[in-house]
């Protein structure tokens, strides 16, 4: 091979590699549609760096969030647990936040000030976000740490209540102390999703006590490695339905409980919040009968990052599918619906199997189809 030909081949290889990298960066961005009255903001509000027990510098967390298309993150370093303190001494527990804030200046990413109260059970671990200063929360009395967070106007949520290091059977349970925190208005939310786990029991606690449903990565290492993003995975996030893309609007939405967690392609949230998201994500964009038949081709567009698994519960059957239909993420799907007689309009009724409105409770969605 001549020198010039080798250079041409090398140039093509480099260009192809760059194209692949650009495509990967675009494809990995988490996307969900807005819902009536609110923006759908993608947030990961439980993360760690070397300023507690994480493995990366805060700027890496910022870069990961930008690549994932997140709107807001919080680096919630452990207040009491500092395993790297001999190598990275930092008496100021706000240091991670300030570094992330500086690194985010060139990006369109909101950094929310937060810290993790780290105690044995009860109460276990809890995140306080939208704080003003982490240092006064370092207190011998765990309850006083919660009270200080509340004095600062923080939103406080219980972390990984199903963590087997503190709940060996993996069951989230309210202790008397947790009940007192709720009664004293010192606990606002609970992680139904944390890292690679989801807790039905935590979900039920959220429903029973009107706590905000949270889904977080609790990432310590690299997001790509933990959640296999290059292979098509995604980090868990909290979808926050906010009036504006601002710190204050996110805070207001969290206190109002307007959230849905996204975890391993499952959407987890209260019915009144999850239903509008499903209806905004799944759209009928056209329908027409095949010539000389009563088989209607219904075209459905899924504009979200979730691939929806639907169980047909309506009166109509399909010509090319069984009763299970998958609407792949950001894909148009055609369903051949057997209507038996010609009709100008029909309804399709589905149960959404990868969405949960309570433990083991799946919502339904009705698609009204106008046929040309």
List pLDDT tens digits, range 271-319. Answer: 999 999 999 999 999 999 999 999 999 999 999 999 999 999 999 999 9
Q: Domain tally for the chain? A: 2
pLDDT exceeds cutoff 60 at 331: yes
Tell me the average pLDDT across 36-54.
97
Least confident piece of the model among 169-173, 276-280, 281-285, 339-343: 339-343
Q: What is the mean pLDDT of residues 341-348?
A: 93
Alpha-carbon gap, residue 308 to 75, rounded angstroms: 31
In a domain, 48, yes or no: yes
- Whether 25 is in a domain gets the answer no
- Under the banding of pLDDT at 50, 70 and 90, the label for residue 90 is confident
- Considering the domain architecture, whether residues 299 and 251 belong to the same structural domain is answered as no
Where is pLDDT greater, at 18 or 139? 139
| Whether the predicted pLDDT of 16 surpasses 70 | no
Q: Same domain for 199 and 328?
A: no
φ and ψ of 169, to 5 deg: -90, 5
Give yes or no for a contact between 302 and 327, defined as CB atoms under 8 angstroms apart.
yes
Q: Indicate the average pLDDT of the chain.
A: 92
With cut-offs at 50, 70 and 90, classify the pLDDT of residue 341: very high
pLDDT per position as a tens digit, 247-267: 999 999 999 999 999 999 999
Both 212 and 312 in a single domain? Answer: no
Tell me, what CATH number does 335's domain have?
A: 2.60.40
Nearest-CA neighbor of 112 among 63, 74, 76?
A: 74
pLDDT higher than 80, residue 8: no
What range defines the domain where residue 289 resides?
Answer: 2-17+281-370
CA dist 360 to 91, 200, 276, 308, Å?
A: 46, 8, 19, 16
pLDDT at 23 over 60: no
Per this entry, what is the length of the chain?
A: 372
pLDDT at 357: 98
Q: How far apart are CA 206 and CA 269, in angstroms?
A: 10
Q: Are residues 258 and 291 in the same domain?
A: no
Looking at residue 279, its pLDDT comes to: 98
Same domain, 165 and 63: yes
Residue pair 71/245 in contact by the 8 Å Cβ criterion: yes
Q: Tell me: do 12 and 127 sit in the same domain.
A: no
Asked which of 264, 294, 310 is the last residue of a domain, the reply is 264
- pLDDT band, residue 26 (cuts 50/70/90): low
- Please check whether residue 272 lies inside any domain of the structure: no
Task: Mark which of 264, 297, 323 sits at the end of a domain.
Answer: 264
Average pLDDT for 208-229: 98
Instruction: Tokens for 129, please give them.
Output: 């976000």
Question: Do 291 and 207 sit in the same domain of this protein?
Answer: no
Residue 5, pLDDT above cutoff 80:
no
For the purposes of burial, counting CB atoms within 10 Å of the CB of 17, is it exposed (0-12), middle (13-18) or buried (19 or more)?
Answer: exposed
Query: What average pLDDT score do residues 142-170 get?
Result: 97
Question: Could you tell me if 253 and 339 lie in one domain?
Answer: no
């Amino acid at each position: 091979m001549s020198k010039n030909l080798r250079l041409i081949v090398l140039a093509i290889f480099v260009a192809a590699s760059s194209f692949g990298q650009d495509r990967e960066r675009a494809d990995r961005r988490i996307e969900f549609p807005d819902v009536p009255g609110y923006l759908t903001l993608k947030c990961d509000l439980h993360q760690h760096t070397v300023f507690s027990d994480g493995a990366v510098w805060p700027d890496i967390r910022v870069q990961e969030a930008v690549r994932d298309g997140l709107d807001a993150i919080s680096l919630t370093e452990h207040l009491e647990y500092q395993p790297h303190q001999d190598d990275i001494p930092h008496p100021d527990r706000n240091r991670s936040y300030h570094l992330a804030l500086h690194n985010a200046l060139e990006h369109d990413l909101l950094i929310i000030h937060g810290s993790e109260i780290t105690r044995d059970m009860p109460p276990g671990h809890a995140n306080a976000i939208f704080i003003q200063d982490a240092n006064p929360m370092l207190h011998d009395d765990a309850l006083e740490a919660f009270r200080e967070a509340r004095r600062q106007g923080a939103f406080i949520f219980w972390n990984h209540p199903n963590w087997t290091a503190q709940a060996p059977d993996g069951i989230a349970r309210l202790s008397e102390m947790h009940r007192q925190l709720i009664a004293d208005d010192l606990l606002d939310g609970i992680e139904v999703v944390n890292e690679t786990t989801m807790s039905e029991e935590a979900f039920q606690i959220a429903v029973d006590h009107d706590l905000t449903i949270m889904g977080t990565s609790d990432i310590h290492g690299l997001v790509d490695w933990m959640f296999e993003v290059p292979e098509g995975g995604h980090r868990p996030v909290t979808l926050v339905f906010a009036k504006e893309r601002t710190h204050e609007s996110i805070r207001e939405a969290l206190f109002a409980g307007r959230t849905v967690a996204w975890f391993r392609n499952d959407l987890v949230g209260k019915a009144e919040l999850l239903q509008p998201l499903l209806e905004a994500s799944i759209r009928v964009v056209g329908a027409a009968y095949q010539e000389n038949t009563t088989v209607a081709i219904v075209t459905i567009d899924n504009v979200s990052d979730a691939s929806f698994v639907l169980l047909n519960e309506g009166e109509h059957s399909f010509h090319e599918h069984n009763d299970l239909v998958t609407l792949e993420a950001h894909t148009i799907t055609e369903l051949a619906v057997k209507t038996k007689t010609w009709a100008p309009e029909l309804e399709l009724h589905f149960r959404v199997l990868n969405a949960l409105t309570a433990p083991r409770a799946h919502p339904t969605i009705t698609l009204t189809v106008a046929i040309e």
